[in-house]
Structure 1
Amino acid sequence: MKLLLTSAGIKNKSIHDALVGMLDKPIAECSALCIPTAIYAISGGADKAWKFLSGQAETPMCELGWKSLGVLELTALPSIDKELWVPMVKETDVLLVNGGDPLYLCYWMRQSGLADLLPSLRAVYVGLSAGSMVMAPNIGKDFVGWTPPNGGDETLGLVDFAMFPHLDHEMLPDNTMANAERWAAGLQGPAYAMDDQTAIKVIDGEVEVVSEGQWKLLQS
């Protein structure tokens, strides 16, 4: 499985080059499915979903020049036959997974059945903020917003590290390194604090940080 876990999308040449290197053909020849689901669980979600899908969100994902784009809305999938969407997911080249609330995203990944498919897919998974955080074992209580039926902060656990995105973002005054270190102290296992110029590439379990900004590996 190939993962490109970003804080804010394909923000610079280094992250773009990493993405191109993970694909087996040029972006212009690749099909992509966009997953906006996580954004609906935060304020203004419908507007933010449209901006993500239309390439107006300042977090480059959908506007990179894909051959084709489709929308995979996870909340709809449990109500339709799997034959209507599973073949499409298996055939696509890239999954573009929006930010928002990571626990809401995790819940619908599981409810839809997508979580079970992910490890076997040939697609490159590109996460944005919550779309990246959902791959961790846990997100930490600081990031709990929407509460799942069983409570807790558990996510998919498809990587063995957690992520603190948007480090030192001008619009997020609480996203300091000091707060990231306090957050990491409440987790088990490694955790990365990463700004919007940083992504983490994971191929067959091998982890590589791709950055033109600031990041730090925090051991809890």
Structure 2
Amino acid sequence: MKLLLTSAGVTNPTILGALAALLGKPITASTALCIPTAQYGHPWLGPGIEAWRFISGRSENPMVDLGWKSVGVLELTALPSIDEERWKPLVRETDVLLAAGGDALYLDHWIRQSGLADMFPSLARTVWVGMSAGSMVMTPQIGREFVGWNSPTGDDSALGRVHFSICPHLAPDGAPGNSLAAAERWAAGIPHPSYAIDDQTAISVTDDAVDVITEGLWRYFPGQAAADVTAGKP
């Protein structure tokens, strides 16, 4: 699976170009399924109007409304109650999965419970486009600062499809979002590499290649293990 991990969706031409490159064909010739599930676990979002806005392409975060050949809804909480034959072929045939923001641990739980996680190794040509929590869910852990919904595991671990963590919505001091100082405090609790990215930035992942796609601000943190080696600690 190819990943485009964004903070706020496909917000500029540079991120849009990266998405087209991952697809290998025009967006107008590509099919999509949107996943609103993460919004239901977040107290500020859904269920309700925000989930509807995402699904209908009327949110402020460009994802569903990019001009896809077709767009459907893949609601993960419903999948365990229906036959696999009704949804797994649809996932295999779809070019891109669009994962909304919301609560990353709630999304992680339902990706696993639905059986979608088990399909990931077979989805080599599929592109996953995440927004905020939809991106963070692919990381090893989200950081205690982002824990809202308490997962059955009791920790902040996520899917671990990439080797780094993400702090989304990096913003200049005083602006809405996460300040650099807040991102630095968050990164201090993450043992592996991590990125703080603003709403004009995304991270593209193909095989072992990781590329920052940006028209904005971002920071890379090497992780505590690397910092200990640099400092000469055993």
Q: Under TM normalisation by the shorter chain, which class is it?
A: over 0.9
- For residues 130-176 of structure 1, the C-alpha deviation after alignment (integer angstroms, 9 at most, x for no partner) is 0000000000100000001221000000000000000117333xx11
- In structure 2, what is the equivalent of residue 17 of structure 1? 17
- In structure 2, what is the equivalent of residue 31 of structure 1? 31
- In structure 2, what is the equivalent of residue 194 of structure 1? 197
- In structure 2, what is the equivalent of residue 185 of structure 1? 188
Once residues 82 and 56 of structure 2 are traced to their aligned partners in structure 1, the CA distance between those partners, rounded to angstroms, is: 25
Once residues 9 and 190 of structure 2 are traced to their aligned partners in structure 1, the CA distance between those partners, rounded to angstroms, is: 25
- For residues 51-94 of structure 1, the C-alpha deviation after alignment (integer angstroms, 9 at most, x for no partner) is 11112211100000001110000000011111110000001000
1:117 is displaced (CA, Å) by 1.0
Give the counterpart letter for 2:216 in structure 1. G
- In structure 2, what is the equivalent of residue 155 of structure 1? 158
Give the counterpart letter for 1:93 in structure 2. D
1:24 is displaced (CA, Å) by 2.3
- In structure 2, what is the equivalent of residue 133 of structure 1? 136
- Say which of 101, 104, 125 aligns to 2:103: 101
- For residues 30-69 of structure 1, the C-alpha deviation after alignment (integer angstroms, 9 at most, x for no partner) is 1100000000112241211111111221110000000111
Give the counterpart letter for 1:76 in structure 2. A
- Say which of 52, 55, 59 aligns to 2:54: 52
- Say which of 76, 82, 85 aligns to 1:83: 85
**Larger displacement relative to structure 2 (114-123 or 126-135):** 114-123
Question: What SS is found at the alignment partner of 2:61?
Answer: coil
1:71 matched to 2:76? The reply is no
Normalised TM-score (structure 1): 0.97
Once residues 208 and 128 of structure 2 are traced to their aligned partners in structure 1, the CA distance between those partners, rounded to angstroms, is: 14
- In structure 1, what is the equivalent of residue 2 of structure 2? 2
Normalised TM-score (structure 2): 0.91
Once residues 29 and 17 of structure 1 are traced to their aligned partners in structure 2, the CA distance between those partners, rounded to angstroms, is: 15
- In structure 2, what is the equivalent of residue 41 of structure 1? 41
Once residues 215 and 30 of structure 2 are traced to their aligned partners in structure 1, the CA distance between those partners, rounded to angstroms, is: 26
Give the counterpart letter for 2:41 in structure 1. A
Percentage of pairs with the same residue:
60
Q: Cα RMSD (Å) of the superposition? A: 1.0
Question: What SS is found at the alignment partner of 1:108?
Answer: helix
Once residues 16 and 67 of structure 2 are traced to their aligned partners in structure 1, the CA distance between those partners, rounded to angstroms, is: 12
- Structure 1 alignment gaps of length 5 or more: none
Question: What SS is found at the alignment partner of 1:9?
Answer: coil
1:116 matched to 2:118? The reply is yes
1:118 is displaced (CA, Å) by 1.6
1:209 is displaced (CA, Å) by 0.1
- Off by >6 Å, runs of 4+ in structure 1: none
**Larger displacement relative to structure 2 (20-29 or 98-107):** 20-29
- Structure 2 alignment gaps of length 5 or more: 224-234
1:171 matched to 2:176? The reply is yes
Once residues 31 and 179 of structure 1 are traced to their aligned partners in structure 2, the CA distance between those partners, rounded to angstroms, is: 38
